[in-house]
């Protein structure tokens, strides 16, 4: 059985926030952690033309970009640093990079997620 739910957003930034919100229970993220993580994913998407991930994330984690994130979220540096530490502990940031399995690249302003939920013992 399939169910399709279409959601619309008026900006790419909101699309990334919605993506993280959908996965928030799986990652066990608090609201602030989800906000910061979605910003990291969004800036990764914006800088996707930088092929080398180390170079890309060096730019994403630069002081300049952190200031932009703090401004976007209206938070102080100490809050951002604490939140980044929590994301590191949850392995959503490893060696100052977001692991590739969490990176998403919407095409034609569309991001498609597929959840396959299965229980043992139920007839297919």
- What confidence score (pLDDT) does residue 51 get? 94
Strand partners, 107: 110
Q: CA-based angle 36:116:98, to the nearest 5?
A: 25
List the beta strands (DSSP E) in the chain: none
- What confidence score (pLDDT) does residue 108 get? 76
| 96-113 tens-digit pLDDT | 999 999 999 988 777 777
pTM of the model: 0.85
- What confidence score (pLDDT) does residue 110 get? 73
| 9-63 tens-digit pLDDT | 666 878 889 889 988 998 999 999 999 999 999 999 999 999 999 999 999 999 9
């Amino acid at each position: 059985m399939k169910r399709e739910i279409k959601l619309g957003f008026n900006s790419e930034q909101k699309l990334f926030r919605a993506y993280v919100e959908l996965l928030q229970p799986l990652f066990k993220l608090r609201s602030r952690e989800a906000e910061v993580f979605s910003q990291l994913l969004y800036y990764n998407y914006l800088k996707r033309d930088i092929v080398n991930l180390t170079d890309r994330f060096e730019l994403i984690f630069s002081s300049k970009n952190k200031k932009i994130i703090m401004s976007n979220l209206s938070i102080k540096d100490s809050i951002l640093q604490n939140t980044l530490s929590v994301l590191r502990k949850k392995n959503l940031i490893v060696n100052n990079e977001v692991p590739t399995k969490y990176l998403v690249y919407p095409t034609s302003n569309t991001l498609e997620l597929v959840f396959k939920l299965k229980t043992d013992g139920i007839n297919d």
